[in-house]
Amino acid sequence: MANGIIRGKLAILVGGGPAPGINGVISAATIEGINQGFKVLGVSDGYKWLAQGDTEHAVRLTIEGVKGIHLRGGSILGTSRTNPTKSETSMQNVLSALEELGVVALVSIGGDDTAFSASRVYKQANGAIRVAHVPKTIDNDLPLPGSTPTFGFETARHHGVYLLRNLAEDARTTS
Q: Which of 113, 139, 141, 170 is catalytic?
A: 139
* Helix-helix angle 112-124:88-101, to 10 degrees: 70
Nearest CA-CA partner of 121 in 135, 137, 104: 104
Q: Which residues contact 117 (CB under 8 A, 6 or more apart)?
A: 15, 47, 83, 84, 85, 94, 108, 110
Name the DSSP class of 93: H
Alpha carbon of residue 70 to chain centroid: 14
Rounded Cα distance between 54 and 108, Å, is 18
Residue 45 appears among annotated catalytic residues:
no
Q: Which residues are known to be catalytic?
A: 139
